[in-house]
Amino acid sequence: MALPIAVEIASSPPVDPELSRVLIDSCSAAAGEGGCVLAADPPIEGRARVIVSFSGGDARVRVEVLAPTAGGAGTSREVSFRDDDPHLERFRAAGLIAAGLVTDLASGETSSGPAPDSRPAAPMPARAAPQRRVVLGLGGQSEWNGGRPWVGAALGADVALAGPGFLSVSGSYAQTWERDANGIAGQRTALGLGAGLVAPLVADRLEVRVRLALDIQELRASIRQPVTLREDDAGRTSSGVGAGVDLALPITAGLGVFCGGRVDWWGGETTVRVQGTPEETLGAWAVSVALGLNVRVE
């Protein structure tokens, strides 16, 4: 049975247990049989002991492998992270580096040549710091337009750019809760394309996403006359702009919940006429709130 890699995480203040778990899980997945464990006191028997030291507010990490129990020299590596690299990804990268150094040391790849410390810091592995991240959001929403509430659902995707920016695409459907006294109901289908910014409020615990988008909507009104039960409908297409703010709370590395608000302007009011007589006016402004799930795809 293979011995595990004993990993000691040196940080002040102490690292959040969830981040430690991410590092150990990442290291174990890359190390193969035996995996990785947090170093204990007294020390446990392992094939190698690794010290992971974060500095600069987790902006840099040094991974140092002490001489394995089977003998041989140790090695180390230092890596600097980008400002937009999530903390979870930084700890996942450190785990991958730890496992890679031990594997290389065991195979003799670092037995000759200059020590890694004498070389410039290498970039993070691509799998640990992807260039593009996509956040998918699915939620239910409640909306007010004119004098009546609406209810619906929205689906969106945020594609990360360099830094805190992202591109945003969304689609939504909403309808009035019920028909009014005249038998009128409204439905709206909308598509949006825009951009936004994301910023952490509490590291790895809460973030805010702000969006601005150009929208196009298909607005339909249908009527079922209460007395005659005759039915009819009509619609119009219009464009507008929307702005929204979401607060996102991660549950795991890939799943989270969000709540948010949005304001849309559709360029003008829409009047619903029945046999030429104005019966209802849908306002140019729509205000909505949403609650749903986020899924991060990398």
CATH of the domain at 94: 3.30.160
Residues 17-39, mean pLDDT to the nearest whole number: 87
Q: Could you tell me if 183 and 244 lie in one domain?
A: yes
Band (102; pLDDT cuts 50, 70, 90) = confident
Secondary structure of residue 228 in the 3-state scheme: coil
Is residue 176 within 8 A of residue 185, CB to CB? The reply is yes
Band (43; pLDDT cuts 50, 70, 90) = low
Quote the domain boundaries for residue 165.
134-297
- The region, left, alpha or beta by phi > 0 then psi within -120 to 50, assigned to residue 57 is left
Band (108; pLDDT cuts 50, 70, 90) = low
Is the per-residue pLDDT at 94 higher than 70? yes
- 129 falls within a domain: no
Is the per-residue pLDDT at 194 higher than 60? yes
Which of 176 and 13 is assigned the larger pLDDT? Answer: 176
For the entire predicted model, the pTM comes to: 0.56
Q: Of 93, 118, 143, which residue constitutes the final position of a domain? A: 118
Position 73 scores a pLDDT of: 63
Q: Return d(Cα 217, Cα 271) in angstroms, integer.
A: 16
Q: Could you tell me if 218 and 86 lie in one domain?
A: no
Which of 194 and 59 is assigned the larger pLDDT? Answer: 194
Q: Of 89, 118, 147, which residue constitutes the final position of a domain? A: 118
- 209 falls within a domain: yes
Is the per-residue pLDDT at 207 higher than 50? yes
- 123 falls within a domain: no
Assign residue 208 the CATH number of its domain.
Answer: 2.40.160.20
Work out how many domains the chain is built from and give that number: 2
- 126 falls within a domain: no
Q: Could you tell me if 262 and 145 lie in one domain?
A: yes
* Sign of CA pseudo-dihedral 130, 27, 296, 87: negative
Residues 247-259, mean pLDDT to the nearest whole number: 87
CA distances from 189 to 67, 91, 237, 255 (A): 63, 42, 10, 27
Band (258; pLDDT cuts 50, 70, 90) = very high
- 23 falls within a domain: yes
- Rg of the chain on CA atoms, in Å: 28
Q: For the chain, what is the mean pLDDT?
A: 81
Q: Could you tell me if 62 and 171 lie in one domain?
A: no
> Which has the closest alpha carbon to 85: 133, 119, 48, 49?
133
Band (165; pLDDT cuts 50, 70, 90) = very high
Q: Could you tell me if 145 and 281 lie in one domain?
A: yes
Q: Of 118, 153, 170, which residue constitutes the final position of a domain? A: 118
- 104 falls within a domain: yes
| Lowest-confidence pick of 29-33, 73-77, 124-128 | 124-128
Q: Could you tell me if 257 and 168 lie in one domain?
A: yes
Tell me the pairing of strands 277-282 and 5-10: unpaired
Q: Could you tell me if 91 and 183 lie in one domain?
A: no
- 125 falls within a domain: no
Position 111 scores a pLDDT of: 41
Is the per-residue pLDDT at 89 higher than 50? yes
Q: Could you tell me if 171 and 197 lie in one domain?
A: yes
Burial class (CB in 10 A: 0-12, 13-18, 19+), 188: buried
Over the stretch 276-286, which tens digit does the pLDDT of each residue have?
Answer: 778 777 788 88
